[in-house]
Amino acid sequence: MREKVSLISIVPTLAMVYLVSATPTVANGIGFSVTPPQGESQNLIFMVPGILIFLVSGIFIILIFFILSCVLESSSLKALYLGIDRLNAASYQDIASLSGLPSLKSLNFEFCTSLTLQALHRLALSNLEILDFSDNDIITNFVVHQDWSGLKALEELDISGNHFTGNIGSILLPSLRHLHLAEMDVSDNAITGQIMSNNISSIFSNLETLDMSKNAIHGSIPSELGQMNLLKTLVLSNNLFFGEIPHELSNLSLLQTLDLSNNHLSGEMAEGIFGVGHKFRGQTDRDISSSMLRDPKSLLLILNDNRLTGRLARSILNAFITELDVSNNYLLGKIPSFKNTTGLQYLRMSNDKFEGSIPLELAKLENLIFLDLSQNNLIGVVPSFINSPLRIIHLNNNQLSGLPKRMFVGRQSFSLDMLDLSCNDITYSLQDLVQDLSFTKLTILLLKDNHFFGNIPRQLCHLINLNILELSHDNLSGIIPNCLGQMPFKNKDPEVLFKLFSGITPLTVNSRFEKQLPNVQEKVNFPSKMRIETDKGSILVYMSGIDLSHNKLQGNIPFENLTRIRSFNLSHNDLMGQIPTTFSNLVQKESLDVSFNKLSGQIPPQLNKLTFLAVFSVAHNNLSGRTPERKRQFSTFEESSYDGNIFLCRPQLPKSCNRPPIILPNDENIYEGSDSLVDMLVFCVSLVVSYTSALLEASIVLLYRIGEPELLLLYQGQFVQVF
């Protein structure tokens, strides 16, 4: 009975506290003063609408809280969501009232920035199974909050996204020893220390999901983790772990997700990390094996950004693995065959030391949608991806030399979103490649720094979903097709690409938290905002640009109707004509570079409307006239942006528009000196005639005396024989 009374009484109290705290906001927000001006009682009538609105809103809030009190009285309430600051700070002082809900099993306080951990420790919910107070920015040391005895049935605990501090081995883990957790997420905090090998497996023997990522935990990964037989998901990424990966992890027979990325782990992968024990007979101790899985639906192995060495063992490439990331390590050797990885969807092996050719089996995988083999030492011809479902292909920064005759054919190839072949040694006709791509949904095409030759084909305009086009540092010639200036350069399906480029896979961690495992992030180097930007992740959805620089393109600039493009580079070509005034319509443009061409005419003054412009260069052309007025963005550009245009004038340039004009002599001065000018003219004409006559005479005599040994000298107008 006391519990019911406390529940019924506390909610109206909270409502009144809320109303009192909100009074100034409500009154002032309507634009009326609570206190009328002194001596002007007749103006009280103007306060009536504000007071009425305030009272109505107050009654509405009280009604909500009474409804909430009725809900709280229900003994059958199973789940309660109070996240995103549903209650104010005063409400949490009486949060212990929730202990009167004996059937409550799930309680969520995420994004409640006013929540304190002290308030949570007042809870006594013996049947509570799920507690989530993530993303609250709680700044406290875990050492002073060790009593969780009132939550004996708790199975899932999420305290991620706060600022908890303390030693994980001596404070955090022991404080939770009385709980029988199946899932624990302490990621994205400021937890330090080492995981003590003598308590992790005994305290958390029931754990299925453990996420300690994004902290400052150091030391080696304890081998005792291999004794947590129920573990399915283990995420230790973004910490300071060092040493080798313990081979005892091979005992985790139910493991489906292992993320050890962004640490300082070292050692050879091929020394039996998962390949020892009685369950792995017939395999060598130099294998990375996934055969410890009994009946896995999928296996995610994320080991990127460490210091791992050696070769990638073939045994890791089995039918169960769906995602493999070993990028940014020191792995070497040839890429093994992937013919058995029938379930593989994401493969990232970039920035290692792999060599040899790309296995043909990779192009035949029926489920592979993401492939990144960039920044290695791969050679040879790129395989044909006929009927491949690939959406993103990264093969840049290798030593690849050629392409197949038909690279993308078939229905499955229509799904291609991004192709990056930049920085290789590929010699190929651009027209043949574009014709092969013309039926895809390509959004990003990067072919820079190769040997692509020929004209830019009109078929390129069929790629209507194109957002980023990079063809710089190739051997392209001819004119730029006019249709390229009519393309929208606007992504028509941003939500799909946002999920793909932001690195969120369709594979979810097997957890009732229903969180998605962070995966690869797309990145593109593109000139923007005063430097070479590495546009990464979801930002690519909103980026658009054209880079045709460092080629042999001719003709005029046809991009007169573009409106949405952000980066534009046509430098180092042979383009002629004028800079289109319609460039001023590119209101989102951040970079414009047309330097080192043969452009003439004036710089359109309308370009001053480009308020986002951060990179601008028209240097080394044949431009003339005034430069745009120094205001807005144009006040930030240096003199080097205009170099090499001798007919441009600007106060900061050698040729100033404000330089005083040269004053010519008037008519009187000309007449006064006319005699001296005539004498000088007669003298010059006479000198030229005399010299020409003498030269002709000498030439005629020499022509008739050829073969005679005499040496003749011209002396006083006559030839004198010397011998």
Question: Same structural domain for residues 498 and 638?
Answer: yes
Q: Please give the residue that has the higher pLDDT: either 51 or 126.
A: 126
706, part of any domain: yes
Question: Same structural domain for residues 608 and 694?
Answer: no
Mean pLDDT of the chain, nearest integer:
76
Query: Helix/strand/coil (H, E, C) string of 463-506?
Result: CCCCCEEECCCCEEEEECCHHHHHCCCCCCCHHHHHHHHCCEEE
Binned at pLDDT 50, 70 and 90, residue 96 comes out as low
353, part of any domain: no
pTM of the predicted model as reported, rounded to 2 decimal places: 0.75
On whether the CB atoms of residues 22 and 89 are closer than 8 A, the answer is no
From CA 627, how far away is CA 202, in angstroms rounded? Answer: 75
266, part of any domain: yes
Tokens 């969807």, residue located: 345
| Burial class for 128, CB neighbours closer than 10 Å (0-12, 13-18, 19+) | buried
Apex 322 CA angle, 424 and 361, nearest 5? 50
293-307, 358-372, 446-460: the lowest-pLDDT one: 293-307
Residue 145, pLDDT above cutoff 90: no
Question: Same structural domain for residues 502 and 638?
Answer: yes
User: What is the average per-residue pLDDT within 189-198?
Assistant: 86
Question: Same structural domain for residues 165 and 149?
Answer: yes
On whether the CB atoms of residues 129 and 103 are closer than 8 A, the answer is no
User: What is the average per-residue pLDDT within 559-580?
Assistant: 88
Closest of 170, 279, 304, 179 to residue 229, by C-alpha: 279
Of 334, 359, 383, the domain-final residue: 334
654, part of any domain: no
Binned at pLDDT 50, 70 and 90, residue 95 comes out as low
384, part of any domain: no
* Cα pseudo-dihedral 452, 457, 463, 467, rounded to 10: 60
Residue 511, pLDDT above cutoff 50: no
Q: Which residues of 615-653 are buried (b: 16+ CB within 10 A; e: fewer)?
A: bbbbbbbebeeebbeeeebbeebeeebbbebeebbbeee
Of 298, 315, 334, the domain-final residue: 334
542, part of any domain: yes
From CA 305, how far away is CA 310, in angstroms rounded? Answer: 15
Closest of 382, 384, 385, 448 to residue 414, by C-alpha: 385
Structure tokens given for 275: 């390949």
Backbone dihedral angles phi then psi of residue 524, each to the nearest 5 degrees: -140, 130
From CA 570, how far away is CA 606, in angstroms rounded? Answer: 20
Question: Same structural domain for residues 143 and 241?
Answer: no
Q: Please report the pLDDT score of residue 544 as a whole number.
A: 81
From CA 206, how far away is CA 254, in angstroms rounded? Answer: 13
Instruction: Identify residue 651 by its one-letter amino acid code.
Output: P
Residue 368, pLDDT above cutoff 80: yes
Binned at pLDDT 50, 70 and 90, residue 208 comes out as very high
Question: Same structural domain for residues 147 and 269?
Answer: no
Q: Please give the residue that has the higher pLDDT: either 160 or 197.
A: 160
623, part of any domain: yes
339, part of any domain: no
Q: Please report the pLDDT score of residue 402 as a whole number.
A: 95
Question: Same structural domain for residues 634 and 699?
Answer: no
Q: Please report the pLDDT score of residue 204 as a whole number.
A: 84
Full residue range of the structural domain in which residue 120 is found: 78-206
Question: Same structural domain for residues 684 and 699?
Answer: yes
Question: Same structural domain for residues 47 and 134?
Answer: no
User: What is the average per-residue pLDDT within 489-513?
Assistant: 46
Question: Same structural domain for residues 121 and 174?
Answer: yes
Of 25, 46, 73, the domain-final residue: 73
* Torsion region of 644: left, alpha or beta (phi above 0 gives left; psi -120 to 50 gives alpha): left
Q: Which residues contact 171 (CB under 8 A, 6 or more apart)?
A: 141, 142, 143, 146, 193
Distances from the Cα of 370 to the Cα of 243, 281, 323, 374, angstroms:
30, 33, 9, 12
Q: How many CB atoms lie within 10 A of CB 277?
A: 16
Question: Same structural domain for residues 132 and 15?
Answer: no
Binned at pLDDT 50, 70 and 90, residue 696 comes out as confident
User: What is the average per-residue pLDDT within 59-64?
Assistant: 66
Binned at pLDDT 50, 70 and 90, residue 98 comes out as confident
Report the number of distinct structural domains present in the chain.
5
Question: Which domain CATH number covers 234?
Answer: 3.80.10.10
Question: Same structural domain for residues 542 and 637?
Answer: yes
